A and B are shown apart, each in its own frame.
Chain A
Amino acid sequence: MKSWSLYKNHRLFAGTVFLGFLGLSSLIALQPATRVQADNAPLPTAVALTPDQQAGMRVFIGEGCVACHTQQVRNIDMDKTWGGRPGMPADYAWRQRLDVWRATPSVLGSERTGPDLTEVGVRQPSDLWHLLHLYQPRSVVKESIMPAFPWLFRDSTAGTPAGLALHVPAAYREPGNHTIVPTRRAQQLVAYLMSLKQAELPTGQALPFLNVSPPKEAVATGAPAPGGEPVLDGATLYATNCQACHQASGEGLKGAFPPLKGSPVVNNADATLMVNIILQGYNPRPEYGVMPPFAAKLTDAEIAAIMTHERSSWGNKAAPVTADFVKKVRALLKPGPATASAL
């Protein structure tokens, strides 16, 4: 005589919990996943990863970088730091199984012990910087706690192609006559990192961020200037945007990033060249890393605040720069991509 009580009929019980869980799982995981996957294609403006960048992504996964780095710009204004618009499914449409053995790379991440990497290719377009940073993060960011990856580099004594050798500051290398050269894997990883940027939306219209944060009081010093605009804190903006290369001391890194301290460009009474470099980027000197353009990232007022900070710190003694001046120089440039001040 079969009982119909769940607690007396073990077959009925096992069937119920199995089907119940499978049913709910299908509702909440299998179906949404299938639907999301079906309704997904990369943006037409997105650039597919090259084989080298693909290989770099494998290094990225194998070294467990996702444990500390997200690639996820959430639709809340505090995430504006990490990208120009909130992430959308199409940004991740390229993701699929790495190979038979390995699954889809889980790059969205769940922990931000290090910075988000969605746009690291824009924020930091200098491969020299990335290589130095991978070899020894503290050689470029003193306070960093990121692991060093010396096994992605080799010690080469002879036959090194010029230009590949890293200029590691003496404090971060073993004494002796070492030439540190990135391996192919390091170059691939850097190629992957530099490929990371948000594709532009075809309509050119940005998705909205939810406005949820309290008013930013850390960047503004609080007291509004007579004009009503808050006074921007150039030191903080410098730390956010410039310090990774030019360093807190303003001295840069020998053989990698030029000093601002005592620099004739920074101290020049006519700041036009300096504004131009910041707006358009700079790469004519092979011994130094590439400087990214900031025209789309910073407003005129922010650039003016940073410049004023740079021109009055570390012994530099040049006159402050106004937002109006930056605006004038910007207007002289060819009409390029949309500027931040226009957004």
Chain B
Amino acid sequence: MISLIINGLEVSVEEGTTLLEAAKFLGFPIPTLCYMEGLSPYGACRLCVVEIGEGPKAKLVSSCTYPAEQGLRVRTASSRVVNARKMVLELLLATCPQSKVIQDLAAAHDVRQQRFKQEDEDCILCGLCTRMCEEQMMAKAIGFRGRGENRDLGTPFDVRSEECRLCGGCMYVCPACQLRCTYNEPERAVCGGCANLSPPCVEKDQFDDMMCYMDPCVACEQETE
């Protein structure tokens, strides 16, 4: 067992526990976006930053990937952490302003607007869908491609992959979910999951029309009829 101090409270956890799990155990809220129980932590969104260490050596780390260390002092809501988180949210908002998930997170952290050039991307490269596809669905049908500003997600050669079972898991976990948008071009569709899975706007009350990117939004239209 490893004991560490989170926000002044001492806690003992098993070796290999991440700071995020330890903080959750104590009940300290840490916002996450690319983290999901059952999937390997990835540390892509940086929303879960916490401050560790003391004095000038204190630094920000992503709590979802940082393993607990003996005697480590962790602060989950210091002003530095809060500022960093707000900045991350602003940047995410600039990348993907229409995402309801990001909008909700931003609102919850008092970020009302962002100061950057709006990109209107349909993906924040959080990697949730690839991990879902690989680790839970055992398919490995989609993955990262390219690098730098050309990095994107999809199937090899942009064609329907034989590994894909149309499970729709990738859309289900996607915080910026626009993957289903490609349904208009069946050949390029990642999985065509929208054809057999109702989109989140049907199931969850908090999603409004803004969430739906299908053109036309097939499933919802069927629902309203």
Same complex for A and B? Answer no
Point out residues on A near B: beta carbons under 8 Å. Answer: none
